[in-house]
Structure 1
Amino acid sequence: MRQEILVGAERRRRWSAEQKLRILAEVGVGGATVSDVARRYDITRQHLYQWRSWLRRHPSGIDDGIRFLPVERVDDQDVQSGFSGAMGDDRVDILLRNGRSIGVTGDPPDALLARIIRIAEMA
């Protein structure tokens, strides 16, 4: 009986949910496209699209990463941002892990804000 032994890196890899989220979060940062990120991790673009699709169908898997922190208002002189402040004094800019930012005015419910953040991080 003859057996064949394959030597080298196994092509089938297992990615944890945290790894998938981290990899997906790189899309769009610094102009990185899906193709760029896929090449960086030696996977196909289809993997990223499948992961993104799965996350859209199972959003409860990513709620654990969203945390709300207390914020403190500072003078406009102390902050150097690209926003003119024309939206009003109650505007809050949220910088996401993937480099995108969200401008929020008023006091939206936590569930709505979490959903907006989730959508912006997955887009």
Structure 2
Amino acid sequence: MEILDRVRRRRWTRAEKLEIVAAVGVNGEPLSRVAQRYDVTRSQIYQWRHEFKKRGMLPALPAPTSSQVDIGSPSFKAEPAFENWLASPSIVELCLLQGSRLRFDSSSKARP
């Protein structure tokens, strides 16, 4: 007969929990990697984050920023072979920080 020792639950201090929650997103690191690094589950980090938000202990997230982009008309005279190409919508893709991408077609209208 083999007698096994009882498995003990780990206890995290409030400072350790805050450190783990704050590590998510630093230098683009996703939550799953932070969970692996600290050997906790993703759901545990979500739970801690929820508790800290409820208590007002998490710093406010930075407000989203926007930049105006002005895409002027082409500076070349289109030849007949290119007229159909220019008239058809084309896809514009913006590559943002942390790997995000924004795609829209050229027929999109700007809002005032």
TM range (shorter): 0.3 to 0.5
- Greater relative contact order, per chain length (Cα 8 Å cut-off, separation 6+): 1
TM-score (norm 2): 0.48
Point out the structure with max Rg over C-alpha.
2
